[in-house]
Amino acid sequence: MEDIANGGKINGPTNPMVTPLLTDLYQFTMAYAYWKAGKHNERAVFDLYFRRNPFGGEYTIFAGLEECIRLIANFKLREDEISFIRESLPSTCEDGFYDYLRGVDCSDVEIYAITEGTVVFPKVPLVRVEGPVSVVQLLETPLVNLINYASLVATNAARHRFVAGKSKLLLEFGLRRAQGPDGGIGASKYCYMGGFDATSNVAAGRLFGIPLRGTHSHAFVSSFMSPDEILDKSLNSSDGTTLCEDFVSLVQAWLRKLKRSHILGGLFGETNQSEVAAFTSYALAFPNNFLALVDTYDVVRSGIPNFCAVALALNDLGYKAVGIRLDSGDLAYQSCEARKFFCAIEKEFNNPHFGKMSITASNDLNEETIDALNKQGHEVDAFGIGTHLVTCYAQPALGVVFKLVEINNQPRIKLSEDVSKVSIPCKKRCYRLYGKEGYPLVDIIIGEKEPAPKAGERILCRHPFNESKRAYVVPQRVEELLKCYWPGTSDKHREELPPLKDIRDRCIQQLEQMRPDHMRRLNPTPYKVSVSAKLYDFIHFLWLNEAPVGELQ
Amino acid sequence: MEDIANGGKINGPTNPMVTPLLTDLYQFTMAYAYWKAGKHNERAVFDLYFRRNPFGGEYTIFAGLEECIRLIANFKLREDEISFIRESLPSTCEDGFYDYLRGVDCSDVEIYAITEGTVVFPKVPLVRVEGPVSVVQLLETPLVNLINYASLVATNAARHRFVAGKSKLLLEFGLRRAQGPDGGIGASKYCYMGGFDATSNVAAGRLFGIPLRGTHSHAFVSSFMSPDEILDKSLNSSDGTTLCEDFVSLVQAWLRKLKRSHILGGLFGETNQSEVAAFTSYALAFPNNFLALVDTYDVVRSGIPNFCAVALALNDLGYKAVGIRLDSGDLAYQSCEARKFFCAIEKEFNNPHFGKMSITASNDLNEETIDALNKQGHEVDAFGIGTHLVTCYAQPALGVVFKLVEINNQPRIKLSEDVSKVSIPCKKRCYRLYGKEGYPLVDIIIGEKEPAPKAGERILCRHPFNESKRAYVVPQRVEELLKCYWPGTSDKHREELPPLKDIRDRCIQQLEQMRPDHMRRLNPTPYKVSVSAKLYDFIHFLWLNEAPVGELQ
């Protein structure tokens, strides 16, 4: 697991492909135009935010900040990168620009951001970037890229956790279907942040210290022909005191016993011998961690009895099998059948705990299928989720934007015929106001120089664009949202970048403190985001000032 | 642009995060179980393929092969990686396994694959991997990861090209919304392969030699207040013979002239001065490449007249403006209005070519919106496409799978209650049969030792799972699909990895040679994939052999 900070210095981005060139060409053409106009050092403030929560929900998890800070802390164009920019811009561009680029870094940029892992809402700036306009624009594309998918997939993970419930184990199995290699690595990181327990992705486990999980595949099962293939059949007992010389025969004896059993007899006939060979072999390799994929041939008539025979043989030697994985078919039915079988064995062979054998389900799971399983009733203990989770199948992009709100101390507004696309001008501060029950009530955005809201003091919260929507609030607690993560040349305290585990804990705690009606899957109540009365007035003053007066013809 | 091969040696994957650890943990647990059972060197054959074409279409572009070969050519676990695997596996695993891992590479693996950029269809193996079972399984996850998204997004690009038509310029603008940094870089590469003309992504332009495009953003426009800000107002004429000392005034003069004009008069009033300042400034920086984003305030009443004033001023100095970009609102209407305005200027000021000014459209475009624009009628010359293209919004994952088809010369089949999920067993060869008109007629999969189909010879093509679907074909031309890209220890000729530009050319040519009914957006005809009579019989023999006989109760 890599340290975030390395002897005081912040390490570069996890993916070495994240360089100052990972940006849109127009950031460089604009930088040139700014430079040519002598405007490049004008101090600009940009807000990074999104306009709509994803997945039809009313909340989002903010993620990706650490990678942004890693980029900013190491932002410096190399000579070969500058040469490439020179080749890419028109040959008429003046040499002085490239000298200027040589000196560009983020030492004069200030980053204020919401803490990573926080539950966040539309329109509230997640990151406020202040600095020389041309440098801040170069940052636009990578910052948006690093936050967009991170926040989307963390939110997706949180939603899957919500529907699965706290007690289930959630495993991220998405690497093979992810959108490219670090789509997979990023998914593992941010799904863990959003509340997953483990990943199958070894590289991500190593990079981020995420617990790893995995057993075997269908190919492993079908690679065996019969138990005769197993050459080394011996297995020491768990306590090391005795040696079972023929574990293969022990398994076969249990299979026969199961078939003859009073309770189980007649439930199955001949099980698949290539399957039992694979299970036996896997148990010999991992006697303490035996978890078998039971659906290669037929779950109920082959996979489960074969698993149980091996598990019972392991039990004879003092080992406890972990459980099974189901990867196809009717998971509700199969898990219930498996549980019945396990409980019957517990009873028949007086084998305590056998009934509690873990059942993992995978196969194209998503929020809807887990919800459907819950409604049908199931006996699944752990869900392995891949494609839908990591590609955010239900909505594969979050619309994070990056808008200029102030330059040279002049507020700027971006108008649009679509009101939801109008930006909130000015350098701002943001607060979360909490009510009596401890729930967040409303976020409020105020001008940077306005007095902060105070606990116990009444404040008017206005909808930024709808004049009739407003409410007085007396917060019990006030939390400032934007904190300084990169102070630039200011003497502000720089917030530490916490380890992933702490961000995950924060995220889970944040989700738990939300009022339940904001979180429900069906028709959730929107959480309110407001502006101060003063900022409201200013937005609308500026709007009228900038918008052309139409003429009806 | 990086070379693929570096002095005979094939370079590693583009993304340095693609290492042997970029795999699922279970590939290592299985490797251990194989090793423990003495099975790890058993020779296995796996097929990589998909089951359904994406986006409701009937074709897919195969992409990602080069990155797979780069991984395979450099596949070697480092000591620190082996230590991490040791930490991740149970402590009971024997030391000999880690010694084994130290020696693992792909020298004994053979890769047969379809040429990258080929149009491909469900069930046909895209890649056939042969080698020691435990090594081939380690490759499963990264190969599937590297091919899944690559093929998906290349196909998406090809579909966008199809609907936009050959004559339009297609620009990939997706970096900021992509699923992570190399989701962006991969998108740029594979969209270019699928028929796009350029990208905005500087890093991708550099890595792959893709043409770069980009102009300026809304923030650039709103960062200006008025033309008074522009300090250096001088501009040399295009031929360098004269100096215009006040280009800003020249633009303002043109603005007044446009307003007073006989034809244009009354079409607009005061245009936004911050906008004309930004345009003027951008033109001063890029007099040969002036392309302006015209929708920051009001396209028709401000953006277009401001653009035209700057373009006419540039024209006075011998420069030709490039055109405009529209990024919101009704793109069909706006593009037509812009064209009318440009044509009116061409006429009024006798300015040839002004009517042909390029119009680029962006803003959440996808197949459907381009199709709708086509139906409404529009004047757009270039489309900038981001979110929908790079995240494959309409279907964000392709279901590429990797199935064991043979081990120790024994054919293996993976059964499933869902017939479409049954795998085609055996080591196989694949051919594309072409008809009289030059179109591909059908793909046929045969056993490795069967005689190849021959041009002019009748062959029976059977649906692999539907006994009634079969047809005799007399191909005019026969093309073998799987070629050797990594010969392992065999003495086969290794196919070269062609440069991206060649793959792109192949892809475009491949798409053009398809029968049009397979390619249409609505209700395309499925292209047929078949097996030989002999393979058909063998599949069904094996199926009956492996499937348990049910009992109706």
Given an 8 Å threshold on Cβ–Cβ distance, is A23 in contact with B175? yes
User: Are the C-beta atoms of residues B116 and B63 closer than 8 Å to each other?
Assistant: yes
- Token pair for residue B504? 């792109």
Q: Is the dihedral of CA A369, A374, A377, A378 positive or negative?
A: positive
Query: Any CB–CB contact under 8 A between A240 and chain B?
Result: no
B185 or A267: which carries more pLDDT confidence?
A: B185
> CB-CB: which of A13, A84, A203 is closest to B22?
A203
Query: Any CB–CB contact under 8 A between B337 and chain A?
Result: no
B26 and B135, same domain (yes or no): yes
- Token pair for residue B166? 């050959």
Q: In the predicted model, what is the mean pLDDT of residues B361-373?
A: 96
Residues 6+ apart with CB under 8 A from A443: A121, A124, A430, A431, A432, A433, A481, A527, A528, A529, A530
A414 or B451: which carries more pLDDT confidence?
A: B451
Q: For residue B454, what is the DSSP state?
A: -
A408 and A376, same domain (yes or no): no
Chain A residues with CB under 8 Å of B30 CB are 216-217, 219-220
Residue burial B248-270, b: 16+ Cβ < 10 Å; e: rest: bebbbebbeebbeeeebeebbee
Instruction: Kindly report the three-state secondary structure assignment for every residue of A461-500.
Output: EECCCCCCCEEEECCCEEEECCEEEECCCCCCCCCCCCCH
For the segment A79-89, what is each residue's pLDDT rounded down to a tens digit? 999 999 999 99
pLDDT-derived band at A171 (thresholds 50, 70, 90) equals very high
Q: How far A461 CA lies from chain B's nearest CA (Å)?
A: 28
In order of A3, A361, B505, the CA distances from A423 in angstroms are 37, 45, 43
Scanning every residue of chain B, which has its alpha carbon at the shortest distance from the alpha carbon of A32? B285
Question: What CA–CA distance (Å, rounded) separates A192 from B232?
Answer: 53
Residue burial A451-488, b: 16+ Cβ < 10 Å; e: rest: eebeeeeebebbebbeeeeeeebebeebbebbebbbeb
Q: Which residue type sits at A155? A: T
Chain A residues with CB under 8 Å of B298 CB are 548
Q: In the predicted model, what is the mean pLDDT of residues A210-235?
A: 94
Q: How far A376 CA lies from chain B's nearest CA (Å)?
A: 21
A339 and A219, same domain (yes or no): yes
For the segment A10-62, what is each residue's pLDDT rounded down to a tens digit? 999 999 999 999 999 999 999 999 999 999 999 999 999 999 999 999 999 99
Domain that holds residue B433: 5-158+395-546
For the segment B40-98, what is each residue's pLDDT rounded down to a tens digit? 999 999 999 999 999 999 999 999 999 999 999 999 999 999 999 999 999 999 999 99
Q: Please give the full DSSP string across A202-259, using - where no structure is assigned.
A: HHHHHHH---B-----HHHHHT---GGG-----EE-TTSS-EES-HHHHHHHHHHHHH
B375 and B401, same domain (yes or no): no
Chain B residues with CB under 8 Å of A403 CB are 218-219
Percent of chain A with pLDDT over 90: 90
CATH number, position A420:
3.20.140.10
Q: Which residue type sits at B102? A: R
Lowest average pLDDT, out of A45-49, A178-182, A543-547, goes to: A543-547
Q: Is the dihedral of CA A174, A178, A180, A185 positive or negative?
A: negative
Q: In the predicted model, what is the mean pLDDT of residues A409-413?
A: 93
- The number of angstroms, rounded, from the C-alpha of B245 to the middle of its chain's C-alpha atoms is 47
Q: How far A467 CA lies from chain B's nearest CA (Å)?
A: 23
3-state secondary structure of A201: strand
Query: Any CB–CB contact under 8 A between A366 and chain B?
Result: no
User: Are the C-beta atoms of residues B24 and A214 closer than 8 Å to each other?
Assistant: yes
Q: For residue B526, what is the DSSP state?
A: P
> CB-CB: which of B38, B396, B402 is closest to A391?
B396
What do you get for the CA distance between the two ends of chain A, in Å?
66
From chain B residues 277-316, the ones with a CB under 8 A of any chain A CB are 281-282, 284-289, 296-298, 301-302
Q: Please give the full DSSP string across A361-374, using - where no structure is assigned.
A: E-SS--HHHHHHHH
Q: How far A210 CA lies from chain B's nearest CA (Å)?
A: 11
Is residue B174 assigned to a domain? no
Residue B319 has what pLDDT? 97
Q: How many CB atoms lie within 10 A of CB A338?
A: 24
Is residue B100 assigned to a domain? yes
Q: Which residue type sits at B495? A: E
From chain B residues 375-404, the ones with a CB under 8 A of any chain A CB are 387, 391-393, 396-400, 402-404
Residue A1 has what pLDDT? 38
Tell me the count of A-B CB pairs closer than 8 A. Answer: 395
Residue A2 has what pLDDT? 42
User: Are the C-beta atoms of residues A73 and A141 closer than 8 Å to each other?
Assistant: no
Is residue B387 assigned to a domain? no
Query: Where a domain ends, among A380, A411, A441?
Result: A380
Given a cut of 50, whether residue A178 has pLDDT beyond it is: yes
Residues 6+ apart with CB under 8 A from B438: B476, B513
CATH number, position B349:
3.20.20
User: Are the C-beta atoms of residues A216 and A293 closer than 8 Å to each other?
Assistant: yes
What phi and psi values does residue A391 have, to the nearest 5 degrees? -90, 0
Is residue A468 assigned to a domain? no
B358 and B498, same domain (yes or no): no
Is residue B551 assigned to a domain? no
Q: How far B269 CA lies from chain A's nearest CA (Å)?
A: 9
B150 and B247, same domain (yes or no): no
Query: Any CB–CB contact under 8 A between B272 and chain A?
Result: yes
Given a cut of 70, whether residue B550 has pLDDT beyond it is: no
What phi and psi values does residue A367 have, to the nearest 5 degrees? -50, -45
Query: Where a domain ends, among B380, B414, B439?
Result: B380
Residue in A200, A154, A210 with CA at minimum distance from that of residue A177: A200
Residues 6+ apart with CB under 8 A from B266: none
Let me know how long chain A is. 553
Residue with tokens 């025979």: A309
Question: What CA–CA distance (Å, rounded) separates B212 from B201?
Answer: 7
Q: Cα torsion at B64, B66, B69, B73 (round to 10°)?
A: -140
Residue B85 has what pLDDT? 98
Query: Where a domain ends, among A320, A352, A380?
Result: A380
Residue B3 has what pLDDT? 43
Is residue A387 assigned to a domain? no
Residue B2 has what pLDDT? 42
Give me the number of domains chain B comprises. Answer: 2
Given a cut of 90, whether residue B388 has pLDDT beyond it is: yes
Given an 8 Å threshold on Cβ–Cβ distance, is A396 in contact with B392? yes
What phi and psi values does residue A231 have, to the nearest 5 degrees? -90, -50
Scanning every residue of chain B, which has its alpha carbon at the shortest distance from the alpha carbon of A64? B180
B439 and B370, same domain (yes or no): no
Q: In the predicted model, what is the mean pLDDT of residues B470-495?
A: 96
Chain A residues with CB under 8 Å of B93 CB are 285
Chain A residues with CB under 8 Å of B327 CB are none
Chain A residues with CB under 8 Å of B333 CB are none
Q: Please give the full DSSP string across A180-200, using - where no structure is assigned.
A: SHHHHHHHHHHHHHTT--EES
Its ipTM equals 0.96
Chain B residues with CB under 8 Å of A85 CB are 202
Residue B297 has what pLDDT? 87
Is residue A453 assigned to a domain? no
Residue B6 has what pLDDT? 53
Looking at B434-499, list the stretches that DSSP marks H as alpha helix, in order from N- to C-terminal side.
none
Question: What CA–CA distance (Å, rounded) separates A364 from A342?
Answer: 25
User: Are the C-beta atoms of residues B345 and B312 closer than 8 Å to each other?
Assistant: yes
For the segment B416-440, what is each residue's pLDDT rounded down to a tens digit? 777 888 899 999 999 999 999 999 9
Query: Any CB–CB contact under 8 A between A90 and chain B?
Result: yes
B364 and B409, same domain (yes or no): no
A11 and A144, same domain (yes or no): yes
What phi and psi values does residue B213 have, to the nearest 5 degrees? -140, 150
Percent of chain B with pLDDT over 90: 90
A519 and A417, same domain (yes or no): yes
Let me know how long chain B is. 553
B360 and B402, same domain (yes or no): no
Interface test with A, best of B25, B43, B177, B179 (most A CBs within 10 A): B179
Query: Any CB–CB contact under 8 A between B484 and chain A?
Result: no
Q: Is the dihedral of CA B268, B274, B276, B282 positive or negative?
A: negative
Is residue B242 assigned to a domain? yes
Given a cut of 50, whether residue B129 has pLDDT beyond it is: yes
Query: Any CB–CB contact under 8 A between B186 and chain A?
Result: yes
Q: In the predicted model, what is the mean pLDDT of residues B511-534?
A: 97
Query: Any CB–CB contact under 8 A between A205 and chain B?
Result: yes
B366 and B422, same domain (yes or no): no
State the number of CA atoms in the 13 A half-sphere of A93 facing the CB. 26
